[in-house]
Structure 1
Amino acid sequence: MAVRSLDHVNIRTADVPGTAAFFRDILGLEARIAPGADHIDRGCWIHDPDGHPIIHIGPLDGRYPSDDMHPFIPARGSGTVHHVALECDDLDDMIERIGATGRAFIRKDYPPAKLTQIFVMEENGILLELNFHMEAH
């Protein structure tokens, strides 16, 4: 058996609605209430276009199964995780959407990998790498 793909990234934050809005309004992904949450502002899963929940967003005071083994200590930014990369399409639309927010971003073209990358921080200071395959745009 082998690892097949990234299942999801979990973000614990004091601002669940703000973080969800970033992924929904800027990246264009679907936000749904997380299983077991009483409101989307208390737990949100961000779904890719195929309906897979790829980003889980929970409140700082939420209870996780891993908390008994490894108690959660809130932090800001990516910490030891340098960044989260997402495969994207429609580079021009994404640049326009991010630009409309006034949010800073960096574009890097990487021809050896036939890739254009956008680096942008989400609401909690987590660095996102948005990857666009050059053939796709």
Structure 2
Amino acid sequence: MPVRTLDHVNIRTPDVPGTTAFFRDLLGLDARPAPGADHIDRGCWIHDPAGHPIIHIGPADAAYPSDAMHPFAPARGGGAVHHVALLCDDLVDMLDRLNHASRAVTRRDYPEAGLIQIFVQEANDILLELNFRKEAG
């Protein structure tokens, strides 16, 4: 059975509200309370425009089922994960949002691939690659 797609990324952080705000306010994604959480500031799922949960944000001190076999050690940045890539629309709007929030970005244009990439770090210093693809004409 092949892998069909990436299901989600989990970010465990001491700043759930700040991390949630980055994805909701700057990237324009929908934030909803995670199952068992009574508010998005205590744990949330970030949903893509189709309503799929793609990023799970949880408190650093929460107990996860995997902790018994792989204990969690709080850290900043992505550790062994270099970056998380998101396919995006509306490059101008995204750059305006990031600029307004004083976020440093690195832009790479790849016209031969019909691709523009924006690299930005979210609230926990995890590197995000925001991809903007031109439709083949």
| Residue equivalent to 2:33 | 33
Task: Please report the RMSD computed on the Cα atoms of aligned residues, expressed in angstroms.
Answer: 1.0
SS at match of 1:41: helix
Taking structure 2 as the reference length, what is the TM-score of the superposition? 0.96
Superposed displacement of residue 39, structure 1: 2.2
The separation in 1 between residues aligned to 2:32 and 2:38, in whole angstroms, is 12
Superposed displacement of residue 113, structure 1: 2.1
**Structure-to-structure mapping, 1:50-129, within 5 angstroms:** 50-129=50-129
The separation in 1 between residues aligned to 2:124 and 2:60, in whole angstroms, is 12
Superposed displacement of residue 111, structure 1: 2.1
The separation in 2 between residues aligned to 1:134 and 1:106, in whole angstroms, is 19
Please, which runs of 5 or more residues in structure 1 have no aligned partner?
A: none
- Alignment: residue pair count: 136
SS at match of 2:71: coil
Deviations along 1:6-35, whole A, 9 cap, x unmatched? 100000000000000000000000000000
Matched to 2:128, the amino acid is L
The separation in 1 between residues aligned to 2:55 and 2:121, in whole angstroms, is 15
Please, which runs of 5 or more residues in structure 2 have no aligned partner?
A: none
Matched to 2:70, the amino acid is H
Percent identical among aligned pairs is: 74
Superposed displacement of residue 90, structure 1: 0.5
Superposed displacement of residue 65, structure 1: 0.7
The separation in 2 between residues aligned to 1:40 and 1:91, in whole angstroms, is 27
Larger deviation, residues 17-26 vs 109-118: 109-118
Taking structure 1 as the reference length, what is the TM-score of the superposition? 0.96
Superposed displacement of residue 42, structure 1: 1.1
| Residue equivalent to 1:49 | 49
